Amino acid sequence: DRVFLEEPTDEAYRKRRELTTLVALVCTGEGPECFCLSAGVDPLQPSGADALLADVGEAYLLKPVSDKGAAIVDALRGLLSEPTEGDLSTLNALVPAKQRDYPFDRVPVGYSELWNSPKWDDLGELCIGCSICTIVCPTCHCFDVEDERSGCSGKRFRAWDTCMSSCFTKMGTGENPRPTKRERVRQRFLHKLSYLRLKTGRIACTGCGRCGAQCPVGIGIEEVISDLAEMKVER
């Protein structure tokens, strides 16, 4: 929402979003790679959701979060029963007491030292360019505009794309401002940890850990966060 609803508003997204009701399902167990609490994500207070659904054993607990969520509960009220104290205790126990902690708040924002860090050389050498990190990431939102022709008619549409692709920034003239994996890796991580934080005040990472878990060479955002947090910058 922060990406597509900020000015200038993406009207196509806004119209679909207004017609959408989001129901968030609470995790029933913490994954070994998860660090969502460190990233500022509360499993019981999902940002943007309209209702919360939680598996509490013999039943699901449904909790409204917005007016849309309340409308769902009202519509189903004849099929629902009030939660017990045991249900609420089970719900609260779903939030992990402790996770790995990463210093998101210590990552410098908007400094040239980040841009010129030798870290990008190391990661660029290691990366194989498969783009799996962007495929599994819940906050990646890069897209392409494509034209599809059929006889005398055609259509223009947007399709998900990835900034880790070698041709993502390639222009019609052949110029490419991000020709190597070094530049593309740098763009991916600085966009999430620095650029969007500078613009919106929040990082673009949920702490799910999927990028590191799925990467064939083990590049995870956790390692990058820890390394950047240790950088000395001139303010």
pLDDT per position as a tens digit, 181-233:
999 999 999 999 988 888 888 889 999 999 999 999 999 998 898 888 887 66
My answer on whether omega of the bond before 138 falls inside 30° of 0, hence cis, is: no
Average pLDDT over residues 112-117: 82
pLDDT at position 162 is 95
pLDDT of residue 233: 63
Give the per-residue pLDDT at 88: 83
The model carries a pTM of 0.83
Cα 185 to chain centroid distance, Å, stands at: 16
